[in-house]
């Protein structure tokens, strides 16, 4: 799985560590790529999770949900938070239309965005870059991370990092 993932990310500066890859987006931002196994009855799904983190000027802990409003047609996502401390940050992120449109076009299973006093943390689990392993019949199938999805994924992580960097200076 890791060799297929490295082949999908050819051209990007990858370094392998003990439990996945590190990808350098720019001088300040680094993306960690880890594998996650989800067990099913007669199969399992091995998916990749792309995560990055950075400093934040927040003293409270909160979670920001990424809501996809359209189920038939792709629309820009909306950032929401149930905690009062996170609503201002969610509104700040909604002020970046390019970020919302990029995440709206991305095919993902889940996005987790958390902020605490130590900083912010974002994990995106795309549909591609995963492997399905069946026991009956014995079958392994790798779902490629297509070039368009790869560009959307990495650029959305970069834009989230840039948005939090701007929030730090604001």
Of 126, 100, 99, 97, the residue nearest 111 (C-alpha): 126
Residue 122 has a pLDDT of 96
C-alpha of 158 from chain center = 10
User: Domain ranges in the chain?
Assistant: 2-169
Confidence of residue 13 (pLDDT cuts 50, 70, 90): confident
List the end-to-end C-alpha distance of the chain, in Å, as a whole number. Answer: 42
What are the φ and ψ backbone dihedral angles of 68, each rounded to 5 degrees? -95, 105
What separation in angstroms does the CA of 41 have from each of 140, 141, 164, 168? Answer: 15, 17, 40, 46
Out of 24-28, 31-35, 92-96, 117-121, pick the least confident: 24-28
Q: Is pLDDT at 71 greater than 80 in this prediction?
A: no
Is-cis flag, bond preceding 70, omega within 30?
A: no
Confidence of residue 95 (pLDDT cuts 50, 70, 90): very high
Cβ-contact 60, 40 below 8 angstroms:
no
Q: How many residues can be counted in the chain?
A: 170
Residue with tokens 């900083």: 119
Task: Report pLDDT digits (tens) over 96-117.
Answer: 999 999 999 999 999 999 999 9
Q: Which residues pair with 140 in a beta bridge?
A: 133
Q: Is pLDDT at 57 greater than 90 in this prediction?
A: no
In three-state form (DSSP H/G/I as H, E/B as E, the rest C), the secondary structure along 13-38 is CEEEECCEEEEECCCCCEEEEEEEEE
Instruction: Go through 55-74 and write b for each residue having 16 or more CB atoms within 10 A of its CB, e for each that does not.
Output: ebebeeebbbebeeeeeeee
Residue 119 has a CB neighbour count (10 Å cut-off) of: 15
What are the φ and ψ backbone dihedral angles of 104, each rounded to 5 degrees? -70, -30
Residue 170 has a pLDDT of 67
pLDDT > 90 in the chain, percent: 67
Q: Is pLDDT at 64 greater than 90 in this prediction?
A: yes
Q: Is pLDDT at 92 greater than 80 in this prediction?
A: yes
């Amino acid at each position: 799985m890791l060799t297929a993932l490295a082949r999908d990310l050819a051209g990007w500066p990858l370094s392998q560590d003990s439990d996945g890859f590190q990808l350098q987006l720019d001088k300040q931002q680094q993306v960690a790529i880890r594998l996650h196994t989800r067990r099913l009855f007669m199969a399992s799904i091995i998916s990749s999770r792309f995560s990055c983190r950075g400093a934040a000027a927040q003293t409270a802990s909160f979670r920001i949900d990424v809501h996809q409003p359209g189920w038939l047609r792709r629309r820009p996502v909306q950032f929401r938070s149930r905690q009062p401390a996170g609503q201002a940050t969610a509104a700040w992120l909604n002020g970046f239309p390019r970020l919302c449109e990029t995440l709206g076009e991305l095919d993902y299973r889940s996005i987790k965005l958390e902020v605490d006093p130590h900083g912010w943390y974002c994990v995106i689990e795309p549909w591609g870059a995963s492997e399905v392993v069946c026991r009956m019949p014995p079958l392994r199938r790798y779902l490629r991370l297509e070039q368009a999805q790869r560009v959307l994924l990495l650029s959305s992580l970069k834009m989230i990092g840039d948005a939090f960097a701007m929030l730090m200076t604001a």
